[in-house]
Amino acid sequence: MRLSLGTRRLSSSEITPARALPTLVDDARAGLLAPPRQLPPKYFYDDYGSQLFEAICATPEYYPSRAEASLLSRHATQIIERAAPDHMLELGSGSSRKTRLLFDACDALAMPCIYWPFDVSAQMMLDAGAALVTDYSWLSVHALIGDYTGGIGNLPLPAQGRRLIVFLGGTLGNFEPDQARAMLGEIVGLLRGDDLLLLGVDRVKDTARLEAAYDDAQGITAEFNRNVLTVLNRELDADFDLAAYRHRAVFDEQRARIEMRLVSERDHSVRLGALDTTIEITAGEEIVTEFSHKFTPASIEALLADAGLIVDTHFEADQGDYSLLLVRRDS
């Protein structure tokens, strides 16, 4: 049976958020005007930030992407045989580089599917989509342009056919526990019958190794972190001095998460033109720019159970460094 989206094998649609998403001005007003100061990590990913993230994945210290890719290449056949997807929806697909390992398995098993990448960066998705439909003659790609944190309840996914929801990169770890539960709850809404979720999560491990992964010796993660100030300067007409901030990555064992912070090196004021205000930052003050939660088998099973999900198959990297989980509805 040949699955297609009409004649064209590459198409796209804009996804309107199901709920209002805070703007950068909203997030700056909520997170920057007074201590403790914090910004959501989504603002890292302007074009330069996305390039820096790709460079982070190539550093010797940042193991998660390699660990996940090796699990995918080792188990892709088993995953596709088990999920037998007609439709593969990927949240935060980015360059879809790792997803190719799943398409290789679909190819080898002659199990075609339709791919629904969902991401904010339209151009990256369409470029990746064009390459995919060239490399896989049976594949149709329908790019969903939007921010999946705005809701996944209104996607144009056909009612018929088995679904595999793909959520890789440990990105679930960037959500705080309540937000992660809510996100998983939305994913449950898309799972019927024997549909499955393929989830990649990073694991709790030695603090030194975790902190090194978020503070590589070349300083690429430090630049990635400081780049959010460039985004603020551009988008909020602000005048942050990047040189006044030091990068810091700390593993909070209690909360099992990496916290990325920008630490002010001196007292200074920052004008936020778009908010028509000036903030006073003191030496030593920190802006939290990202959480990256790490899991144990028990903590991820508990989080999934809270959302009505259960582990179907657990693929573990050597030394339990990383986990790839096939997950299904509990009932």
- C-beta closer to ligand AVJ: residue 165 or 210: 210
Closest among 157, 168, 170, 9 to 85, alpha carbons compared: 157
Contact criterion met (CB below 8 Å) for 325 and 201: yes
- Under rule CB under 6 A, which residues in 221-250 are in contact with ligand AVJ? 221
Q: How far apart are CA 111 and CA 36, in angstroms?
A: 51
Among 115, 116, 167, 214, binds ligand AVJ (CB under 6 A): 214
- C-beta closer to ligand AVJ: residue 142 or 226: 226
Residue with the CB atom nearest ligand AVJ in the bound state: 292
Stretch of 100-108, 165-173, 177-185, 262-270 lying at the interface with ligand AVJ (CB under 6 A)? 165-173
Among 56, 83, 106, 141, binds ligand AVJ (CB under 6 A): 56
Q: How far apart are CA 49 and CA 226, in angstroms?
A: 10
Among 169, 196, 233, 324, binds ligand AVJ (CB under 6 A): 169
Contact criterion met (CB below 8 Å) for 138 and 111: no
Report DSSP state, residue 20: P
Instruction: Give me the residue label for tokens 């705080």.
Output: 176
Contact criterion met (CB below 8 Å) for 287 and 38: yes
Distance of CA 146 to the CA centre of its chain: 13
Non-local CB neighbours of 131 within 8 Å, separated by 6+ positions: none
Minimum CB distance to ligand AVJ, residue 221 (Å):
5
- Under rule CB under 6 A, which residues in 69-98 are in contact with ligand AVJ? none
Closest among 58, 184, 47 to 120, alpha carbons compared: 47
Among 40, 112, 129, 173, binds ligand AVJ (CB under 6 A): 173
Stretch of 122-130, 156-164, 170-178, 264-272 lying at the interface with ligand AVJ (CB under 6 A)? 170-178
Q: How far apart are CA 78 and CA 238, in angstroms?
A: 50
- Across 160-265, where does the E strand assignment appear? 163-167, 196-202, 245-252, 257-264
- Under rule CB under 6 A, which residues in 16-55 are in contact with ligand AVJ? none
- Under rule CB under 6 A, which residues in 249-308 are in contact with ligand AVJ? 290, 292
Stretch of 2-10, 102-110, 171-179, 306-314 lying at the interface with ligand AVJ (CB under 6 A)? 171-179
Among 28, 32, 49, 64, binds ligand AVJ (CB under 6 A): 64
- C-beta closer to ligand AVJ: residue 85 or 170: 170
Minimum CB distance to ligand AVJ, residue 273 (Å):
28
Q: What are phi and psi of 138, to 5 degrees?
A: -95, -5
Which residues sit at the interface with ligand AVJ, rule CB under 6 A?
56, 64, 169-171, 173-174, 214, 221, 290, 292
